[in-house]
Amino acid sequence: MRTNYRSRATVLTGIFLLSLLLAGCGEQKAAGGSPQSGPAEVGVFVVEPQCLTITSELPGRTSAYLIAEVRPQVGGIIQKRLFAEGADVKAGEVLYQIDAASYKAAYSSAKAALSKSEAVLETNRSKAGRYKQLLPIKAVSQQDCEEMAGLAKQAEADVESNKAALETARINLDYTRVTSPISGRVGRSSVTTGALVTASQNSPLCTVQQLDPIYVDLTQSSTEMLRLRQNLADGQLKSNGIKAAKTRLLLEDGTPYPREGTLKFSEVTVDQSTGSITLRAVFPNPEHLLLPGMYVRAVIEQGVNEQAILVPQQGVARDPKGKATALVVGDDGKVEQRAIRIARAEGDKWLVSEGLKPGDRVIVDGLQKVGPGAPCKVAPTSTAPVSAKTGTAGQ
């Protein structure tokens, strides 16, 4: 009995001491605890409409402004090649010299035949004149006079024919000097000295391309073109004029091309295999930095949005369904979640087409501290104001 009594006393004493310890910890925690915190501070971005130039970034390839495949107009042996491959040549500059011996002989023969026919013409004209003077006194017959006049006419025709033959011989002789039809850069030669060429052969001797200016052929989907026209028709965009649209270029490595081009025309037919249309721009290329066949991306000005709403990207999130949302501070100081529609990216900002209006305060700092319906305190934010820069479609 005495043992049971001692065991119960020990248990009760332990319970009492544990209660005192827990009570002391609670009082200490209450005394040293932090005071209740107020509304969370958040940084906001105030929405203001901006004037934004809408652009489209389109893929494309460069092509020469002019291309001339040089072929011989007469046959013969190549005696000389008078240009350096890859050099710049002028229109009319001699590129090849074909053996001209036979053509010189043909020219001399045609020239002699012309001289002979001119001499015959002079004789027949003189006789026809004398016969005409003798006809009134019956010194010659009417028939002889008419025959001599006919011979003079025939001699005139022979002279004209021989003049044409001489001109043909001169042209053929000139064709032995194969010249460049345009100014530009000449490529590699397909023939060497001593090669036999023929008139109007299928394979060109070389190719000359004009590289300044240079064409850039771009492709744009017909869907994007229809969307652009719809925005213009609805008044969301103001047209810049397709023929006056300025165009900037990005090279294959992403570096910008230093010179600005101009959009010249848009194709009228949609490619059935790709569903796209072709746009052609012209760029100055004095340094020949752009070469035919290069892959580039062009940024084309296609319209102006005078009431564009741009929001920093850190102020936009996605809900579980993937829809874009933004947290906005309401007039009552509470957080409101807005469903928005994003048109495209503009640098580090989103172009918002629906869901926000001028004056809305979009939370961009402290998003993790608040939720929909929670009160908040607006603090200054370091977010810079949106500049009226150009935007790029299709990103």
Residue-wise pLDDT for 358-388, tens only, equals 989 998 888 888 888 888 888 755 444 444 4
Residue for token pair 């036979």:
102
Q: What is the CB-side half-sphere exposure of residue 56 using CA atoms within 13 A? A: 19
For residue 32, pLDDT over 60 is answered with: no
Average pLDDT over every residue of 343-351: 84
Looking only at the bridges linking them, the beta strands covering 50-70 and 295-312 are antiparallel
Which domains occur in the chain, in start order?
42-52+307-393 (2.40.420.20), 55-64+211-305 (2.40.30.170), 66-208 (2.40.50.100)
Q: Which structure tokens are listed for 70?
A: 């040089």
User: How high is the mean pLDDT of the chain?
Assistant: 83
Distance CA 364, CA 385 (A): 13
Average pLDDT over every residue of 305-334: 88
Average pLDDT over every residue of 337-346: 86
> Which pLDDT does position 35 carry in this prediction?
45
**How far lies 203's CA from each of 72, 109, 230, 239, in Å?**
10, 32, 49, 47
Residue-wise pLDDT for 134-189, tens only, equals 888 888 888 888 888 899 999 999 999 999 999 999 999 999 999 999 999 999 99
> Which pLDDT does position 394 carry in this prediction?
41
Point out the least confidently predicted range of 22-36, 294-308, 331-345: 22-36
> Computed from CA positions of residues 317, 319, 323, 327, in that sequence, does the dihedral angle turn out positive or negative?
negative
Percent of the chain whose pLDDT exceeds 70? 81
> Which pLDDT does position 228 carry in this prediction?
63
Residue for token pair 């002979």:
116
Is the backbone peptide bond immediately before 213 cis, with ω within 30 degrees of 0? Answer: yes
Distance CA 121, CA 153 (A): 8
